Chain A
Amino acid sequence: MQRNRPLSAQAISVLRALAADPARWRYGYDVATEVHLKSGSLYPILVRLADRGLLETSWEPGRGSRPPRHLYRLTLAGREYVAALPAARASGVGRTVPRPHNRWSEA
């Protein structure tokens, strides 16, 4: 059975930022600015969250000479994860929170 490593504090902060308005699509740079993460830390976290099925992505069409832009928001599993987070962290059972699908090994 594959096991997921527990998420880092930075990944948790990204999840919390996205959970503030879970229905809204967010830009990566905006999330990075909000949680004070550098791009070099943000994207590996986004990749990991998407691989775990906690994050869904989409594209915003480009405008004029600007290229298309990637958008992010939490999946239902992501919302459940964040909702379970405070209790899970306090009791140390964060690793047992159900995660939809482990695709991190495909990285």
Chain B
Amino acid sequence: MPIFIPLMCLLGMGVARFRGYARVVPADPAVRDDVPVRLLRWAAGLLSAQRAGWGQAMLGELGHIDGRGRRWRFAAGCAGAALLLAPSGRAAAAVWAMTVAAAGAAGVYAATIVRYRLGAGDWVFAAVVLVLLAGYTLVASVLLRQPGVALPGLLGGLFIALTWLAPAGYTFYDVIASVTPLWAVLVQVIAVPVLVGVAGTLRGGSAAAGRRIARLAAISAGLYIFLYGTIAVAVLGAGGPPGDPNWTVSAIVDDRLGNNAAFYLWFLPLTTAAIGWAAAAATARVHPRLATTVSSTAASLPLMAAGLAAEGSLSPMTPPQQAERPVHVRNWRRTARLALTCAAVAAILILTAAGWLISGR
């Protein structure tokens, strides 16, 4: 059951993001708006403000390519390039730091499998862990392209990680089998992500910035604690808190590695990101100054597909004519739906946490 909660949260975030995206990018029946265009428009929207012109260049080129296969190949290639374009400056340093943390965690994980001679199934699971680590690093690098996200996001992640490790007293011994009281679970799973989402939105000045900060904080927290937990398993092995006496050393280590991955690479990042994301959106809705702020995502979206009647060129990287930026307006029905969704997610999490505690006693 707990495994499915992040999945549901992720699905909800995806649906909400798609709906929001559809609102800010008006469809023009005169312009071809097939799946390759949508894919490329989405990927181009992830580029930094300095690189937004290149996203528009890709979209413009796609508008002149005919043939389904050629359009798909061109859009897929450009989308990949847009995703992998590295950020610069402080953000690049942050990406490198996260890459090193992810690579370090993968290395320690693999070394532990080798040391305790775990089975082939563990290597398959290690491959899944590697995919997750690579995916989180990629998402972090995309988030870090936007200005004002790196520092609050990474600090938020550190704050979340410290909160999750606090009940264990920051020791290897207790991080493997810490017993967390219900109030602490609620703080970790709900209060802290909400705090990060609200603070991120207020600092970033928009819901989009707050959501990015919340997601970066969730991902970085997951990476930090996964690295810490994996080192703890590597150091202690089958030692530490006593487990089932019938289990072999390999089984105990295997179980601990699996628990680390499930909690810190799956449950923590996705749940924390979902709640922080919802808190950021809710903050922007209720805050009078932020309620009408233009989303920076919307501002950076390539709008060429919206039907640009071009006359003359403004600059090498600016298309001839920009469509007017859409402005988010207060929509009380959306706000109510968002509040209900947040309440439902919170209720599910509380019930799940209570269920764990009850079943554990």
Contacts and interface: CB of A to CB of B under 8 A. Distances in A.
A107 interface: yes
Given A40-B81, A57-B317, A59-B320, A67 B31 contact: yes
Interface in B66-114: 73-78, 80-82, 84-89, 92
Contacts of B305: 67
A86 interface: no
Nearest to B307: A65
A62 B31 CA distance: 11
Contacts of A29: 61, 64-65, 74
Nearest to B65: A29
B77 A44 contact: no
B63 A67 contact: yes
A101 interface: no
Contact of B87 (A59, A62, A107): A107
Given A43-B78, A56-B316, A67 B308 contact: yes
B46 to A, nearest CB: 14
Nearest to A70: B57
Given A62-B308, A67-B60, A69-B61, A107 B30 contact: no
Interface in A45-99: 46-47, 50, 56-59, 61-62, 65-70
Interface string B141-184: 00000000000000000000000000000000000000000000
Given A40-B80, A105-B89, A66 B57 contact: no
Interface in A1-50: 27-29, 38-44, 46-47, 50
A62 B57 CA distance: 12
Given A28-B57, A44-B81, A68 B74 contact: no
Contact of A69 (B63, B75, B81, B92): B63
Interface residues of B, number: 46
Contacts, number: 110
* Size band of the interface chain A makes with B: 20 to 34
B88 A57 contact: no
B28 to A, nearest CB: 8
Contacts of B310: 59, 61-62, 67-68
B244 interface: no
Nearest to B79: A40
A46 B77 CA distance: 14
A68 B318 CA distance: 10
B324 interface: no
A39 B64 contact: no
A70 B309 CA distance: 15
B311 interface: yes
Contacts of B308: 62, 67-68
Given A47-B51, A58-B316, A106-B50, A65 B74 contact: no
Contact of A39 (B32, B78, B321): B78
A65 B32 contact: yes
Contacts of A107: 51, 85-88
- A-B residue pairs, 3 tightest by C-beta: A40-B77, A39-B77, A70-B57
Given A27-B61, A107-B86, 6 more contacts: A29-B61, A29-B64, A40-B77, A57-B317, A62-B304, A67-B310
Interface of B: 30-32, 50-51, 54, 56-61, 63-65, 73-78, 80-82, 84-89, 92, 304-305, 307-313, 316-321
8 contacts: A29-B74, A38-B77, A39-B75, A42-B77, A57-B317, A61-B311, A69-B60, A69-B64
